[in-house]
Amino acid sequence: MPFPNEHSARIINPGEFKKESFRRINIADGIDTIQGRLENETTMTVQSYRFNAVKRENKENPFHKKVFTEKQAKKWLNDHNIEYILFEKAEIENKMPKSKQIFLTGYVDSWMSNDIRNEIESSKEKRIDVYISSYGGSVDHGFEIANLIQGIEATNSKEIHTYNLAHADSIATVIFLAAKKENRHIVGNSTMFYHEPRYIVIDEVTKNDAELMARELELQKNRIADFYIKNIEGLDKNEAFSLMEGETTIGSEKMLSLGIVSEVQETFKIAACKTITNLKFKQMGLFGKKEPINTLQLSEDVTIAFYGELKEGIEVQKIGENCNLEGEYITNSKKIVIDSNNKIIEMSNIEVNDDDKNFMNEISKVVNDIIEKALTDFRNEIDEKIENIRKTGSTQKIEKIENKSTDQFNLGTQSSVRKNTNEYLNAILKKRREKQEKV
């Protein structure tokens, strides 16, 4: 069988040697020999030659700088009058370069846009992998993310890849297309859903309101269509309109034929850890869409990805470079135990004593006060904006949207602050228990 990253020229079959006698010995830049003792002999004999087939950065071994093609390796053997019984061309390992992984799941809004921008701008890695599983959301915030991706790529400061984990719908299609064609990745069950932009009307509207909304929708429709044309080679405006007007869901083969991607991959590799294959997704929603990937931070340096409900018996995948998940984790007042196969073998509630409860209640009160103050400040800002809008003669529609933003802020802030607080509390409680156990 071929060897990873090196050509092999077999001189003698390995079965003729003592099993424990093999040694690798370097004889020239990029060339090693495999030597061993033949049965009933005490001296070392060359079993095969190995030729380096990829560029390696190994400071400890300076003799692997030279790279040989198959032709060059065979020429070297011929030039040195070495006869071989089998030549095996190297199998080049397709290693994913070190990259920053960002999971874009759920509703596209200002929170997501800010999070993505902060993640990308703070990343030291030259490559960013954006994994998408989203039903879409705000058009403006979707374009913010897409423009950020293309703006960074234009400076050549980072290489950004987008991955369609399960589905990229509505404005998420724009985000997926923001990467260069060769940097867009799909698997066999990836889908995209196209539709015309739409308003969600909360209250009654006047004729003037309706006309304003119609003009706005037409503008956004053209804006999205122009982006499709620019980033899908060969697509014209009528075809772009047709995709949106037809409420169209397309699969991997259609993406390939339209030129959205260059190939359909069998799997995705996340940080060279466990591989995401064409899993069977649960169906949900009116259009039978696939359940998005979920993530959970177990500790400061461990975040897991999984499908469906987090419970005993399911396999989880680690986001990051070190694939080992085996161990016990404390999060959200639960103990989670993961085995060496990345399967959750235990999930149980943690008993909290009276001292811990009092401590947590005090912290919760402080957190609630912080949330309430932030929400009050935000509402005051919204009220000021609404008053300015009224002065310019704008409509109820904008006011309702602003009020809806307050609700989104309320949910987003509480979720974010409470998540961080819970992680902090769990860390403190874990240390307390460890001290108590030592005593």
**Domain definitions of the chain by residue range:** 6-88, 100-291, 354-438
Determine which of 182-196, 258-272, 378-392 has the lowest per-residue pLDDT on average. Answer: 378-392
What is the value of pTM for the model shown?
0.48
Of the candidates 98, 151, 95, which has an alpha carbon nearest to the alpha carbon of residue 121?
151
Q: What is the mean pLDDT of residues 72-96?
A: 84
Q: Each residue of 148-193: pLDDT tens digit? A: 999 988 887 788 999 998 889 999 999 999 999 999 999 888 999 9
Interatomic CA distance for residues 29 and 418, integer angstroms: 58
Q: Which residues pair with 17 in a beta bridge?
A: 38
* Axis crossing angle, helix 110-122 with helix 396-438, rounded to the nearest 10: 50
The Cα 339–Cα 347 span in angstroms is 12
What is the percent of the chain with per-residue pLDDT over 70, rounded to a whole number? 70
43 three-class SS: coil
Pairwise CA distance, residues 74 & 307, whole Å: 49
Categorize the per-residue pLDDT at 142 as very low, low, confident or very high, splitting at 50, 70 and 90: very high
Q: Which one, of 108, 112, 137, 131, lies nearest residue 190 by Cα? A: 131
- Looking at residue 401, the DSSP 8-state letter turns out to be H
What's the maximum distance between 2 C-alpha atoms anywhere in the chain? 100
Give pLDDT tens digits for 360-382: 677 667 767 777 777 777 777 76
Place of tokens 């399967």: 343
- Take residue 236 and report the two structure tokens written for it: 């014209």
Closest residue by Cα to residue 224 from 290, 143, 156, 164: 143
Give the pLDDT score at 425. 55
Lowest mean pLDDT among 104-118, 360-374, 406-420: 406-420
> How far is Cα 273 from Cα 112, in angstroms, rounded to an integer?
25
- Contact between 32 and 25 under an 8 Å Cβ cutoff? The reply is yes
Beta strands in 245-312 (DSSP E): 248-250, 268-269, 275-276, 283-284, 289-290, 293-299, 302-307
The reported pLDDT for the residue numbered 86 is 92
Query: What confidence score (pLDDT) does residue 392 get?
Result: 63
Structure tokens at 348: 């149980």
Superfamily name and number for 100-291: 2-enoyl-CoA Hydratase; Chain A, domain 1 (3.90.226.10)
